[in-house]
Structure 1
Amino acid sequence: MKTAPEWAAAAAAQRPAGLAWIDGRPVPSSSGRTRPTVDPATGQVIAEVAECDERDVDLAVDAARRAFLSGSWSRQGPRDRAAVLSRLADLILANLDELALLDSRDGGKRIVDTTAIDIPGSAAILRWYAESLDKVYGEVAPTGPGDLATVTREPLGVIAAVVPWNYPLEMAIWKLAPALAVGNSVVLKPSEETPLSALRLGELATEAGLPDGVLSVVPGDGPVVGQALGRHTDVDAVTFTGSTQVGKLFQLYAGESNMKQVWLECGGKSAVVVLDDVTDLDAVAAGVTGGIFTNAGQVCSATSRLVVQRGVAEALTERLLARTAAITVGNPLDPATDMGPLVSIGQATQVRSLLTDGAAEAAALVGGELEPGAATECFVRPAVLVDVAPTARIAQTEVFGPVLVTHVVDTEEEAIAVANGTPYALAAGLWTDDLRRAHRVAAALRAGTVSVNCVDALDVSTPFGGFGLSGYGRDLSLHAMDKFTGLKTTWVHYG
């Protein structure tokens, strides 16, 4: 691992182009407008990025449709597509430091996370889908003599992938890997906050051998580019990760245009339940703080609510507050930093505003101040709001920042009710030493993923997504391929 000065020197030498990637080549926006993308740790402009609009979306979608109809990708054999995706995974790893630095600078992410988790993880997910392609079979229906009916999965056509800023490259790969693997063309819209690694990915995809038009990257404002993709009548499906509010807009756009499929992975207000039979409270405290303060709390599945039984509440809270106070907030390019900045001044302002409101509804607020002496006002110290009513606004609102609220309950039944007491249902955590309680309570928690005695369990082999206002899309696993294909029956009568 490089030292902080070495990463700083590498950052100073980076010169991202900032051009859109459409039909296999870098292009400026049709309007010629650009938008600066800013390093939240320093306040410095990293690059001027093409500010695309509806005309650029039309160009990208047209290129995607032509590529799909040509069969240059959609009708390639599974092993041929797999070879290209594997080469792209190799190129991601070959450019690991560059991509990691782009995501760290663009979003304020710790360099130790982007180098060790985000970028290698992106390559691994891409390779996993590539390797799955010749292992997925169709079906033969049980017909009578003289008939043969097959059921196959066909690529939908043109997919719009709209991704957030908290894991810029990895979230893009979550969408792209299964969509491309099954033969679709994709138009990727990265967040306006963190577009740089996605634009570089477009270049690498072409270098890997992806035909022109199969992947375009169109940066720009969400209400402009995102809406244009959502309303476009030649887009066959939208896959989206982001806020519930914007997810509802994509449903509206689909209904007002061509009834395209919309797959949503939206907000969360995940609970971690700690039952009173737990003995290793130090391990629990480490897990709870990791579940909320990783990536400065900017994680949709972050366990932002602690629901703890009274018998262990005081001892666990003491440990949590000590761990929280010891977190080092600072330069994300310094490997010694525990937590970097929030993605922008706007995000930091919103988080601190919610904290101010929440303090009036809590027995105590610990942390949450601006980090003294920081270069920008994006550095917010991790915060714990102690003993908050489950119905309080801060306990029901997705903060998307380093903010934990605690609820003390008396019974297992009350813990389940409080944990399930929000309209979100993305993820949940559970800590208990009793295996029977683990199964019983996990079954009662309404969430797409329940992590028992661990933190935010995640693997490419298992689906990720939720219920309720957390949406209904599923990323990862073989099930993700279902979103990007349609079932086709071919019935042959021969006797």
Structure 2
Amino acid sequence: MPQTYTHTFDTPVYKGSVTFNTGLFIDGQWVDPVDGGDRIDVVDPCTGKVITTVVAGTSKDVDIAVAAAEKAYKTSWGLKVPGVERGKLLGKLADLVEKHSDELAALEALNVGKHFHVAKMADIPLAVNALRYYAGWADKVHGKTIETTENKMAYTRHEPYGVVGAITPWNFPLGTVSFKIAPMLATGNVVILKPSEITPFTALYLASLINTAGFPPGTVNIINGYGNTVGEAISRHSSIRAIGFTGSTLTGRKILKASAESNLKKVTLELGGKSPTIVFDDADLEQAIKWASMGIFFNMGQACVAGSRIYVQEKIYDQFLQGFTKTAEVLAGATGGPFEPGVQHGPQVSNLQFERVMGYIKSGKSEGAKVLIGGERHGDTGYFIKPTVFTEAKPDMKIMQEEIFGPVCSVVKFKTEEEVTEWANNTTYGLAASILTENVARAIRMASNIEAGSISINSGPSAEPNVPFGGYKQSGIGRELGQYALDTYTQVKAVHINLGQKL
């Protein structure tokens, strides 16, 4: 019988006990791996100490989960259940997530290291909104009738794939799980979910809410495990017809290759980014500094849309740099754990991520960029890195070309719109960009010319459940969120009806 884990929080910002199961969630039940399996250490990023362990599944467990999902799809979900009923269950799940927002926020904060209030006010509401948004879409998945001739009728059906896979990252665990499963379920698919082995807590807690909401057994199956075992099995399974992945470009390539070498499953990839933030000299300087700071330092820089390349027009460069540096200093002075009052900056999620980010800082220094502030570890416990600002960075440096995924940015001076447009597009990525200017014509022109899937004007990067999200170039394939996700997780069938044609 799988173990449960209870964590008691007795902190200034949250007090309470939260319990969740650490096993595999298959066919509506908690089970152990068929082979006994290893257990995965889940580490507190503030201390480096193990919080608890969760079981690690294998490909055999994926096989069992797929069989349960196939049965559910054929008997109690999919086209067997009207969209209005699917929507009601998604709505119930949204209500339950909202009802248990304190517990989910506490687990998210404990697991990721982000502050409790950020998790409660940002991460959990985003998940709730996504579930509610797609609850409303579940009975609105429509095809078309198409005029051909008077002797023929043609129409289309948008049908679910059946069993689909979802592999989610560690930076926004509950949010990305919701972004995946909500449109998958709304369109009638059944799901095999692998949450990140680094941050599985909220996905496991969500499983109990899925049962409480009344979803049929097998509709959602959650398999903890490593990418090279469970993730690989999902990517190659011949009965999984589509897969949605959020994570690194390197892993995205592996999933795409696995699809090509197995059953050519539909693959949607939301991958890395190297987003530019472009500040023109007519921007509201105070607001520009705040938005640029949020764009790179939010979630300790652990966001695919993080604005790690900040381009500032030469006339206001010195003023911007002065104010931006002060903002970084404030964050550095407000560094701490997720349940401490007044904390604004936390740790990286793991030792591996800490070492990776510190490696990029070392690279920037060695290639000749200048550290204006930060560039060091904070303290000697946990995985804290000081907010880091580079100047004098060149376009071909690693810190300007590769995704760092940490609180590290470069501030670069530019002269003209044409120049900064060329620089902004000079990466293999194209996920997001922020443009700060009071010139409306310039803002629209820049939004058209920047090669990225999501453009924010006079703000930092943002996400809304009803707005599509995805990347250009090596930042991904396909779109999530909005009505576009319905197309991502359905396949179109054309039906031709002969009304009088004779041979």
Structure 1 length-normalised TM:
0.96
In structure 2, what is the Cα distance between the partners aligned to 1:318 and 1:171?
35
In structure 2, what is the Cα distance between the partners aligned to 1:334 and 1:78?
44
Give the one of 353, 363, 374 matched to 2:359: 353
In structure 2, what is the Cα distance between the partners aligned to 1:246 and 1:79?
36
8 Å CA contact retained: 2:76, 2:216? no
Unaligned runs of 5+ in 2: 1-8
1:124-163 correspondence to structure 2 within 5 Å: 124-163=129-168
Q: Does 1:439 align with 2:441?
A: no
1:73, distance to aligned residue in structure 2 (A): 4.1
Q: In structure 1, the residue corresponding to 2:52 is in which secondary structure?
A: strand
2:175: which partner in 1?
170
**Please, what is the CA RMSD of the aligned residues?**
1.5
Counterpart residue type for residue 344 of structure 1: S
1:329: which partner in 2?
335
2:24: which partner in 1?
20
2:86: which partner in 1?
81
1:379, distance to aligned residue in structure 2 (A): 0.9
Q: In structure 2, the residue corresponding to 1:21 is in which secondary structure?
A: strand
In structure 1, what is the Cα distance between the partners aligned to 2:175 and 2:340?
21
How big is each residue's C-alpha offset from its partner over 1:304-325, in whole Å with a ceiling of 9 and x where there is no partner? 1001121111110111111101
Q: In structure 1, the residue corresponding to 2:467 is in which secondary structure?
A: coil
Counterpart residue type for residue 37 of structure 1: V
How big is each residue's C-alpha offset from its partner over 1:102-157, in whole Å with a ceiling of 9 and x where there is no partner? 11111112111111111122111101111122334220010222322111100011
1:301-316 correspondence to structure 2 within 5 Å: 301-316=305-320
Q: Does 1:344 align with 2:350?
A: yes
Unaligned runs of 5+ in 1: none
Q: What is the aligned-residue identity percentage? A: 37
How big is each residue's C-alpha offset from its partner over 1:418-465, in whole Å with a ceiling of 9 and x where there is no partner? 111100000001111111111111211111011111111321111011
2:43: which partner in 1?
38
Q: Does 1:289 align with 2:296?
A: no
In structure 1, what is the Cα distance between the partners aligned to 2:371 and 2:173?
35
In structure 2, what is the Cα distance between the partners aligned to 1:387 and 1:312?
16
1:6, distance to aligned residue in structure 2 (A): 4.3
1:222-237 correspondence to structure 2 within 5 Å: 222-237=227-242
Structure 2 length-normalised TM:
0.94
1:43, distance to aligned residue in structure 2 (A): 2.9
8 Å CA contact retained: 2:12, 2:340? no
1:56-455 correspondence to structure 2 within 5 Å: 56-278=61-283, 280-327=284-331, 328-360=334-366, 361-372=368-379, 375-376=381-382, 378-455=383-460
In structure 2, what is the Cα distance between the partners aligned to 1:43 and 1:336?
22
In structure 1, what is the Cα distance between the partners aligned to 2:113 and 2:144?
47
Counterpart residue type for residue 239 of structure 1: G
How big is each residue's C-alpha offset from its partner over 1:271-293, in whole Å with a ceiling of 9 and x where there is no partner? 01111222x21111111000000
Q: In structure 1, the residue corresponding to 2:476 is in which secondary structure?
A: coil
1:44, distance to aligned residue in structure 2 (A): 3.3
1:4, distance to aligned residue in structure 2 (A): 7.5
8 Å CA contact retained: 1:21, 1:203? no
Counterpart residue type for residue 487 of structure 1: V
Greater CA drift, 439-448 or 167-176? 439-448
8 Å CA contact retained: 1:428, 1:449? yes
How big is each residue's C-alpha offset from its partner over 1:41-85, in whole Å with a ceiling of 9 and x where there is no partner? 233323220111111111111111111122434421111111111
Distance 1:6 1:406, change over 3 A: closer
In structure 2, what is the Cα distance between the partners aligned to 1:83 and 1:8?
31
**Number of aligned residues:** 488
In structure 2, what is the Cα distance between the partners aligned to 1:107 and 1:390?
32
